[in-house]
Structure 1
């Protein structure tokens, strides 16, 4: 059975969006290699409409960039499941539209896949999955920056108590934090 993993790059103070990624993302070889390893182990991406449209506009063209080669190859080749109430019909970029209620469909996708289902982004889909207890793990790649403005990770979700699984620091100052929702003892 696959796991649903909410995966995000954030700053120390929880910002996940800046005017340009160059202003806070630490793109070092160590954490980038670890991120690629996690993508290789994953079976599919689980995306909301906005994230899907944003990624689909960029990633198919990144295969032409030698610095993005293995990442682009993996991301472009992966199956993608897209949750949307407004999209209809067939999707591009190796994507399938989730028909019906995402809360009912995600457990079926977990049964179908043995590897991870990576939720990239922290919008409405990630909020829904977290609130409905459908997230198995949260992965935060914490970048050593403070960003004064902008949206914060999963703002408005919770309360959800998390249990630390692992913390992996990298030379750049990036720390990969892995959490699972804390299960209360009976």
Structure 2
């Protein structure tokens, strides 16, 4: 059985919206405001996560965003992301653009989890993350916390309710924090 891992970049107040400033959110671009050293430390963690993943699970918009940025890149991290099986949860997508991608109806996510072995990592995809929490399909949450308070914006967890147990907390670079939580099921 696979393990669904939500892996997100968030601000201190839990906002995941518009990290690169491309969506037009007036408080977006917070990801770009970290130091080069912190960005390098962040990249090490993200690359290690990709190397350990069995598959990616993405919403349609996140799939499109990643496909336009990673499909033509090379190097160990890019090669791994491009080679990984990717499942795009969508009711309208017929032909995913990124190599090794398969469109998956939302009703099939639980079946995917049951039939796969290893980590199924979810990047970005806030709407999908909300749905996964509502369906009690999330096993682990990994948060890279950026040292900014935006005071507004879409939060990663929305109105999801649940209980988590802290597994790991560590400093990444000078100003980032990496938190790992496991879902507690009662």
Same fold (TM over 0.5): yes
Which residue pairs with 1:83 in the alignment? 89
Which residue pairs with 1:110 in the alignment? 113
Aligned counterparts of 1:97 and 1:136: Cα–Cα separation in 2: 22
Which residue pairs with 1:5 in the alignment? 5
Q: Check whether the contact 2:58–2:125 (CA below 8 A) recurs between aligned residues.
A: no
Where does structure 2 lack aligned partners over 5 or more consecutive residues? Answer: 22-28
- Cα distance, 1:81 vs. partner? 0.3
Aligned counterparts of 1:25 and 1:11: Cα–Cα separation in 2: 15
* TM-score (normalised: structure 2): 0.84
Aligned counterparts of 1:60 and 1:163: Cα–Cα separation in 2: 35
Aligned counterparts of 1:113 and 1:168: Cα–Cα separation in 2: 29
The CA RMSD measured in Å over matched residues stands at 2.0
User: Quick one: which of 39, 42, 48 aligns to 1:31?
Assistant: 42
Aligned counterparts of 1:49 and 1:37: Cα–Cα separation in 2: 24
Aligned counterparts of 2:59 and 2:135: Cα–Cα separation in 1: 16
* TM-score (normalised: structure 1): 0.84
Secondary structure, counterpart of 1:155 in structure 2: coil
Aligned counterparts of 2:144 and 2:55: Cα–Cα separation in 1: 19
Q: Check whether the contact 1:42–1:116 (CA below 8 A) recurs between aligned residues.
A: yes
User: Residues 182 and 57 from structure 1, CA distance in 2 versus in 1: closer, same or farther, beyond 3 angstroms?
Assistant: same
Give every structure 1 segment of 4 or more consecutive aligned residues whose post-TM-superposition deviation is greater than 6 Å. none
- Cα distance, 1:54 vs. partner? 1.4
Q: Check whether the contact 1:11–1:24 (CA below 8 A) recurs between aligned residues.
A: no
Secondary structure, counterpart of 1:179 in structure 2: strand
